[in-house]
């Protein structure tokens, strides 16, 4: 019994000692494990300012970063209206284009062309009808002019003829009256056997000649008064013809057809995708007959000037100055080194988009994009848009100025 009691006491003491000493041992081990150097501020695959045991900065002669190749102005994704179907590409990959060049046709292009031809036909017919009406009015004007000319030319002759007829009827009336007077005198004096019937017949001739003379005088007066009315009637007939022609012109609706044609041509432009700027077709992203939706159908870029967008760690961005020289290393199928000049930097800090091949490098870093203009010649880079490169910005280059990097947005 005493032995059992002694064993229990020893076990209790051992447990109590372990509870007191164990946390201290674990704390010391953790301290030894966490004692690491501060975070390496250099970007993935690059060297930056290092810190010594006294945590003081050590000067460096370059800033290294990852970068991507871009044409001047970046990439221009070209899309189509929502729900439109691509009918035909008018360019090929790698083809150079100018601003406004046609790149592709979308659904509805043929229908718009047919509509334009129909409106152009209707407009041509309207022009022909208007031309015919103009010719008709010209004929009416010539006809009215000839009729007026004829009226004015014949007026003297008509007046002379009617006046001669009046003179003739006047003489005839005088002769009839004289014959009647002679017969009446013989009948009254009984110097000759003149019957009442003869006298009456002669009187009827006098009345007939007098009536004819009066009728001729009336006709002559009507002619003189009707001359101005005939001229006015010719003008009225011409005005009536012009009014009818104007009604025909109003029924043609040429103005509305012209507006419809302009609208149809504008709608036709909407079925042709044009280049927003000069550049080169870098990639076709759709196929004929496909509805791309919100996605672009091709990528356009101006590869006449090439740039590299370097992702510089935010801790090192103060070392980057304007006009600093940069060395660009491409490690593709054909490794090559290029040179460039720092041109500008972004106005904001962002997460890195590029990852190096080092598995120990951090996948998350806060970087500032620096724009570097690649020196010529760089023909190989024109076909390597978005290629990943390694950039070394020389901070101690003698040609470097003290001007800060321009911060114009890209």
Beta-carbon-side half-sphere exposure of residue 69 (alpha carbons within 13 Å): 27
Q: Cα 362 from chain centroid?
A: 49
- pLDDT for res 42: 42
- pLDDT for res 14: 66
378 with 250, same domain: the answer is no
From CA 396, how far away is CA 179, in angstroms rounded? 148
Beta-carbon-side half-sphere exposure of residue 2 (alpha carbons within 13 Å): 0
From CA 98, how far away is CA 110, in angstroms rounded? 24
- pLDDT for res 358: 62
Which has the minimum average pLDDT: 4-18, 30-44, 151-165? 30-44
Per-residue pLDDT band for 289 (boundaries 50, 70, 90) equals very high
70 with 118, same domain: the answer is no
Q: What is the mean pLDDT of residues 35-61?
A: 43
Residue 297 host element (H or E): none
225 with 353, same domain: the answer is no
CATH of the domain at 337: 2.40.30.170
Residues 41, 343, 350: CA angle, nearest 5 degrees: 40
Higher pLDDT, 403 or 165: 165
Which has the minimum average pLDDT: 83-97, 200-214, 240-254? 240-254
- pLDDT for res 199: 81
Pairing of strands 366-374, 350-351: antiparallel
Token pair 């023909």: residue: 379
- pLDDT for res 393: 94
Per-residue pLDDT band for 1 (boundaries 50, 70, 90) equals low
69 with 179, same domain: the answer is no
- pLDDT for res 107: 92
314 inside domain: yes
71 with 169, same domain: the answer is no
From CA 96, how far away is CA 111, in angstroms rounded? 29
Is the separation of the CB atoms in 164 and 236 below 8 Å?
no
Higher pLDDT, 43 or 269: 269
Domain final residue pick, 256, 271, 291: 256
Is the separation of the CB atoms in 75 and 385 below 8 Å?
yes
232 with 334, same domain: the answer is no
Closest CA to 281 of 29, 96, 83: 96
Domain final residue pick, 197, 227, 256: 256
Give the pair of three-digit tokens for residue 137: 């009015």
From CA 61, how far away is CA 395, in angstroms rounded? 5
Q: Cα 126 from chain centroid?
A: 28
107 inside domain: no
86 inside domain: no
From CA 291, how far away is CA 142, in angstroms rounded? 64
71 with 117, same domain: the answer is no
241 with 316, same domain: the answer is no
- pLDDT for res 220: 84
Give the structural domain span for 151: 113-256
Give the pair of three-digit tokens for residue 178: 């004289």
166 with 237, same domain: the answer is yes
Higher pLDDT, 192 or 366: 366
Q: What is the mean pLDDT of residues 140-166?
A: 85
Domain final residue pick, 256, 276, 311: 256
- pLDDT for res 407: 54
- pLDDT for res 50: 42
Asked if residue 122 has pLDDT above 80, the reply is yes
- pLDDT for res 2: 54
Q: What is the mean pLDDT of residues 167-177?
A: 89
Higher pLDDT, 17 or 389: 389
284 inside domain: no
Mean pLDDT of the chain: 81
Per-residue pLDDT band for 259 (boundaries 50, 70, 90) equals very high
- pLDDT for res 59: 52
From CA 107, how far away is CA 86, in angstroms rounded? 6
Q: Cα 146 from chain centroid?
A: 54
125 with 68, same domain: the answer is no
Share of the chain above pLDDT 70, in %: 80
Is the separation of the CB atoms in 372 and 67 below 8 Å?
yes
Residue 79 host element (H or E): none
Asked if residue 159 has pLDDT above 90, the reply is no
Question: Phi-psi category of 149—alpha, beta or left, where left has phi over 0 and alpha has psi -120 to 50?
Answer: alpha
Give SS3 for 338: strand
Give the burial class of 6: count Cβ atoms within 10 A of its Cβ; 0-12 exposed, 13-18 middle, 19 or more buried. exposed
- pLDDT for res 349: 92
Is the separation of the CB atoms in 264 and 69 below 8 Å?
no
The b-or-e profile of 287-313 (16+ CB within 10 A means b, else e) is eeeeebeeebbbbbbbbeebbbbbbbb
Asked if residue 132 has pLDDT above 70, the reply is yes
Asked if residue 67 has pLDDT above 90, the reply is yes
Per-residue pLDDT band for 8 (boundaries 50, 70, 90) equals low
Q: How many domains does the chain have?
A: 2
- pLDDT for res 10: 65
350 inside domain: yes
Asked if residue 52 has pLDDT above 90, the reply is no
Per-residue pLDDT band for 340 (boundaries 50, 70, 90) equals very high
Specify which of 8-12, 152-156, 345-349, 394-398 reaches the highest per-range mean pLDDT.
345-349
- pLDDT for res 31: 36
Number of residues that make up the chain: 410
Give SS3 for 296: coil
Specify which of 15-24, 232-241, 259-268 reaches the highest per-range mean pLDDT.
259-268
Asked if residue 6 has pLDDT above 80, the reply is no
Pairing of strands 279-284, 102-106: unpaired
| C-beta neighbour count of 249 within 10 angstroms | 16
Give SS3 for 114: helix
Per-residue pLDDT band for 401 (boundaries 50, 70, 90) equals very low
- pLDDT for res 23: 46
Q: What is the mean pLDDT of residues 324-339?
A: 92
409 inside domain: no
CATH of the domain at 194: 1.10.287
152 with 70, same domain: the answer is no
Give SS3 for 180: helix
142 inside domain: yes
- pLDDT for res 71: 93
Asked if residue 36 has pLDDT above 60, the reply is no
Give the pair of three-digit tokens for residue 14: 């051992």
224 with 307, same domain: the answer is no
């Amino acid at each position: 019994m005493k032995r059992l009691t002694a064993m229990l006491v020893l076990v209790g003491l051992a447990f109590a000692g372990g509870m007191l000493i164990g946390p201290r041992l674990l704390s010391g081990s953790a301290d030894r494990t966490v004692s690491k150097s501060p975070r390496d501020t250099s970007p993935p695959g690059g060297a930056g300012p290092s810190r010594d045991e006294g945590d003081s900065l050590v000067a460096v002669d370059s800033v290294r970063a990852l970068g991507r190749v871009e044409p001047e102005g970046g990439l221009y994704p070209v899309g189509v209206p929502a729900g439109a179907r691509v009918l035909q590409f008018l360019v090929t990959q790698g083809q150079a284009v100018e601003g406004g060049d046609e790149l592709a046709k979308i659904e509805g292009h043929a229908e718009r062309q047919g509509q334009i031809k129909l409106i152009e036909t209707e407009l041509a017919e309207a022009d022909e009808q208007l031309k015919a009406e103009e010719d008709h009015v010209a004929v009416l004007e010539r006809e009215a002019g000839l009729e007026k000319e004829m009226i004015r030319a014949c007026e003297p002759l008509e007046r002379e003829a009617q006046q001669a007829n009046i003179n003739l009827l006047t003489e005839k009336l005088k002769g009839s009256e004289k014959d009647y007077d002679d017969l009446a005198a013989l009948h009254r004096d009984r110097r000759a056997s003149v019957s009442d019937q003869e006298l009456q017949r002669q009187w009827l001739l006098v009345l007939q000649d007098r009536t004819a003379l009066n009728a001729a005088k009336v006709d002559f007066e009507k002619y003189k008064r009707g001359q101005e009315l005939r001229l006015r009637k010719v003008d009225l007939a011409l005005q009536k013809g012009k009014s009818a022609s104007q009604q025909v012109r109003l029924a043609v609706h040429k103005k509305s057809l012209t507006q419809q044609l302009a609208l149809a041509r504008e709608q036709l432009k909407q079925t042709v995708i044009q280049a927003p700027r000069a550049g080169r077709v870098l990639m076709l992203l759709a196929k004929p007959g496909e509805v791309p939706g919100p996605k672009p159908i091709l990528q356009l870029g101006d590869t006449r000037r090439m740039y590299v967008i370097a992702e510089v760690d935010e801790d090192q961005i103060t070392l980057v100055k304007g006009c600093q020289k940069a060395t660009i290393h491409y490690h593709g199928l054909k490794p090559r080194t290029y040179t460039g000049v720092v041109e500008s930097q972004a106005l904001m800090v962002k997460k890195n988009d590029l990852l190096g091949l080092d598995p120990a490098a951090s996948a998350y870093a806060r970087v500032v994009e620096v724009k570097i203009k690649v020196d010529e010649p760089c023909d190989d880079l024109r076909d390597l848009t978005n290629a990943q490169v390694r950039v070394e910005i020389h901070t101690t280059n003698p040609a470097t100025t003290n001007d800060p990097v321009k911060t114009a947005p890209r």
